[in-house]
Each structure stands twice: as C-alpha cells, then as structure tokens.
Amino acid sequence: MASSSHIDDMDSDRAPQRGSKGARLLGENPRLALAVTLATGLLAIPLIVIVLSFLQPNAGSTLAGLAQTVLPRYTLNSALLALFVGVGVAVIGTGTAWLVTACQFPGRRAFEWLLILPLAVPAYVMGYAYTEFLSHPGAVQTLLRDVTGWGPRDYWFPRVRSLEGAAVMFTFVLYPYVYLLARTAFLTQSVSAFEAARVLGHSPWQAFVRIALPMARPAIVIGVALALMETLADYGTVAHFAVPTFTTGIYRSWFSMGDRVAAAQLAGALLTFVFVLIWIERLQRGKARYQSARATLPIQRFVLKGWRGVGAVVFCALPLTIGFLLPIVLLIELMLDDGHALFGARYLGFIRNSFLLAGLAALITVAVAIALPSVHRLAKAPILSFVTRFAAMGYAIPGSIIAVGILIPMAGFDNTLDAFMRERFGVSTGLLLTGTIIGLLFAYTVRFLAVALAPVESAYERITPRMDDAARVLGARKARVFTSIHAPLLKGGILTGALIVFVDVMKELPATLILRPFNFETLATQAFRLASDERLSEAATPSLVIVAVGLIPVFLISRQIRRLRDDSKVMDQMPG
C-alpha cells in the first residue's frame, strides 16, 4: 500500500498543471520557481542600466560627441583587433589540432597537451614579458646593436606597443580555444567520409580541406567567437600597449573624466559589437551541425617524414614557445633580477585578497549554477529553461560593461539612502555598497555563471529521470532525491565549475579595477599597476602566481581530452 501511495504521489507530480498560462510556466512548485526566477533576474541589472543610459535627457548630445571624437577610433581599433586575432587563432588552432589528431611526427603525444598551456597565461601578463624583452633597452635590441655596431637610429625594429603587437599577444594566448574545440571535433568525426575521399584520389591535404574542415567548421567558429569575446573584453593588454579600444575608453571616461553617461554609452556600443559577434556565431552554427560517429578520425595517422615532419614540429612548437615557454622564462628572469621572492611578505596581502575574492566568487557562482538546473528539474518549471539560458549570456559581456552597469545603481542607492538618512535623522550612512567587495562578487557572478553552469548541466545530463522515479517510488521526497542522488553524481561537475571560476576570477582585471575597494589590491591589479609604472620586473612576481594558478584547469582540460580519445578507441573496438 505504501508503494502505491508513493506512485500516486508521483502521478500527481506528473499531472498537467491547470490554471493560467503563468501558473503552467512556474511548474509544480510555483513559489520556488518564482523565487529563483526573480533572484536570477538580478543578473540583468547591468544590461538594463546600460540600455537605460541611452534614454537619459542628455544622452543624445553625449552620444553625438562620442561619435564625432573617439567612437570611430575605438570601433576601428576593436574591429582590426578582432580581424587579426580571428584569423590568427583560426589558422594556428585548427592547424595544430589537425596535426596532432591526424598525423604522426616526433613529439606528437607531448604536443597534444602542451599546446593547451598558453591558456593559463593572461594576455596582459604575456604583454608585460614581451614589452621588456623586445623594447629598445631589452635583450633583443641590445644584442642586435652589440653584434652590428648600429646606433639607435641606424635600424628599424617593429614597435612592440602597437595594435599589431597586441594582436600577436592575443593570438598566441587565445588560440587554445580553437585548438580544443577543433581537436574534439576531429576526434569525433566519421572515418568513412574521409577514407572515401582518399579512395577517390584526393591527397591528405585535399581530403582535409574538403571533408574534415567543413565538418569541424561549427566547432572552429565557436572557438574563434570565444577568442574574440576575450579580446574585446580585455583591458590590461590594450591599455599597456596604448591601443585605444572600447574598454580603455570606458575606463578613461569613468575615472579620468568622471562622465558616467559617456562610460555607459561606450559600454552599450561595445555590447552591440559583442552581440553582433554572437549573432554571427549563432548564424554559422545554425547552418552547420556537428558530425557525430562512433569511429575516430583517423584510424591510421599520416606519417610525416623529412621536411614535413620538421615542419609539423616547428608549426606546433612555435605557438607553444611564443605563448607559454618564452614568457615564463622572461618573467622568472625579471623576478630574479629584481630580487623579489615569489612568496615574499609584500605579496601575502595580494595573494590573500585574490584568493578571498576567487573563493567567495566560486562558492556563490556555483551555488547559483546548481540552483538553476536543480529547481528546473524538481519543479519542472518551463520558465526556468529561459532563465538559465539568459543567465548564461553573462560570459559574452566584457567585465568593464558589467562593472559600469553595477556601479551606477550601487552609487545611486548609496547616495539616495545617505540623503534620506541625513534629512530624516541627521545621520550619514556613507557608502554601504559602493567601494566594497559586494559589487565585485556580483560582477563575477554575472560574468562567470556560464562557466560554472556548463559542467553542472553536463553532469545533470547523465542523471536520467528514471533515477528520480525510482527514488520517489522508494519514498524519497524531492529534497532527499537531490541530496542522496543528484549531489553525489554532480560532484565532479561542481568541482570543475568552481575551479574554472576560481582561476578566471584570479585573472580578471577590468571589473576588478573599476569596482575594487579603495587600497584593495589583487595580484591582477598589482601586476597592472606596476606595469603601468614601467616597473615590469616587479610586475613579474604577481604575474607568475597568476600563471601558476591558471595551470590547474589546463591540466584538467587535458585529462578530459585524453578520456575522450580513450573512449573513442573503446568504441572503435566494439562490434558494429
């Protein structure tokens, strides 16, 4: 009888909701679904503030002034950066992914995971290292003058601090986005189509261009889009290289000129730029689909000998050397030359602040990432599907936009409350939210929720509804189903999401610079401040700590790719 009563409970849970359309959208637990929906709606505050900035009384004149002065330059520089970086990461990421997947050459197995390492190096850290190395008093030009006997005006050398130099930094740091996605696509492609092209007389290069590359196109486009979003969101690199872009304009308008409307409208212009990229990426993804198959590509790799093998080694070693090995060596040399200990007493405060922010942000973000799919699954509320997708958009929004969209309402709230308390009670409340870590944590949650949400949702896909049904038949309530079944199975996804958010917060610069409390330094802000003062040798120490922490998720990603490869091999050996 007990079992039948539990079955009746399940049947009542599955019964279609009667009533209004709103009640159906809120599912079986309207109060919980509504609470989560409203809480998640707070993440839209930065976007709402940016949109409303265009409706202010003086918005038209401000926008017209920007259009006549700095906006064309910001747009052109941002577009050129996007163009150079997009082409660069596509060529390097796709080429290296194909070589390590489809070809056999010396060092291939090592390059499989080594090529991911530049992902641990923030672009601004790489820029600091190369500025010192390639500048006029740096090692390269000094050696050139010593060998040739030339004077400072006797030769031409490429300018490091330029738009082209910034594009090179972004390219060699961000190509792993394309490499990871393209390699995964190549690993999961069907062998039959590629071998059919070979049987019809196509060379390996022709088969790659006509068969493998088009099938991997959606993955490559997504990787390029991610790299471009990171490029447009960056502030430290373009500021250090003196390249005027939207992010530098936002920061300058806010802090140098004190013009909040101009900062908000520049943020809106950058947001439009980013959404155009997202629209293009979605359009490309809509026209092409991933080709899934059981067999990996290829069963037998092409053996590259002679100059071909040397060329493959050079093509893979070059981005690894430029994007990781050489910057690390340069930073270590700078640190040792200046006499700074990596964990000296001076940096304990910066490390503590960085770990405090990263740890709290990871906890909050992962908690929200768990709540959204969990409530959606337990309450069966259709509205939460839309809310989850909307919340995941934050990763496409640069940190500077989020920071401006948060700081404006926080400052308004603090000023309004202070004025009210002064008028009614003669007491000044000061700044309760502005200049505290509350705004920083909120910005990190908006920015990196998608990073935590992806592994949690991926883990949830492995939990079938039948598991929930079996637990309910045995008498478990919905809360017990989550704690006893969902939570243990979600542990891997939760830890992965928390770790990636932790590392991303450690590297994040634009939002931290704008929202941080007074005299509150993190490793990222300290490295940027020292580099801005041309104290690059001192900036090497916090930069190395950031890179060291960033290596952790890189190794986790590498392990996941190896598992994918091993799983594919097992599938190959299974009978048809």
Tens digit of pLDDT for each residue in 122-145? Answer: 888 898 889 888 888 888 888 888
Distances (CA, A) of 571 to 118, 175, 297: 31, 29, 12
What secondary structure does DSSP assign to 401-462, as a single string? HHHHHHHHHHHHHHHHHHHHHHHHHS-----SSTTSHHHHHHHHHHHHHHHHHHHHHHHHTT
Give buried/exposed letters for 172-201 (b at 16+ CB in 10 A, else e).
Answer: bbbbbbbbbbbbbbbbbbbbebbbebeeee
Q: What is the mean pLDDT of the chain?
A: 77
pLDDT at 93 (0 to 100): 93
Q: How far apart are CA 488 and CA 475, in angstroms?
A: 19
Residue 80 has a pLDDT of 92
At 298 the pLDDT is 46
Is it the case that residue 14 has pLDDT exceeding 70?
Answer: no
Phi, psi of 369, deg, nearest 5: -65, -30
Q: Which range is most confident: 191-195, 368-372, 430-434, 470-474?
A: 368-372
User: Looking at residue 399, what is its pLDDT?
Assistant: 81
Burial class (CB in 10 A: 0-12, 13-18, 19+), 204: middle
| Helix (DSSP H) and strand (DSSP E) numbers for the chain | 28, 2
Residue 235 is predicted with a pLDDT of: 87
Q: Is the domain 1-51+351-516 a CATH 1.10.3720.10 member?
A: yes
Angle at 78 between CA 75 and CA 81, to 5 degrees: 145
The 10s digit of each residue's pLDDT in 514-527 is 888 888 888 888 88
Domain residue spans in the chain? 1-51+351-516, 74-341+521-569
The per-residue pLDDT for range 105-126, each reduced to its tens digit, is 898 888 988 898 898 888 888 9
- Measured between alpha carbons, how far is 98 from 93 in angstroms, rounded to an integer? 9
CA 115 to chain centroid, in Å, comes to 18
Q: What percent of the chain has pLDDT over 90?
A: 10
- CATH number of 74-341+521-569: 3.40.50.1860, 3.40.50.880, 1.10.3720.10, 3.20.10.10? 1.10.3720.10
Residue 103 forms beta bridges with which residues? 302
Is 259 or 535 the better-scoring residue by pLDDT? 535
What percent of the chain clears pLDDT 70, i.e. is strictly above it?
72
Taking CB atoms within 8 Å and a gap of at least 24, the contacts of 521-527 are 521/349, 521/350, 521/353, 522/350, 522/353, 522/354, 522/357, 523/347, 523/350, 523/351, 523/354, 524/122, 524/236, 524/354, 526/347, 526/350, 527/124, 527/125, 527/128, 527/236
Q: Do domains 1-51+351-516 and 74-341+521-569 have the same CATH topology?
A: yes
Structure tokens of 507? 């590297």
275: helix, coil or strand? helix
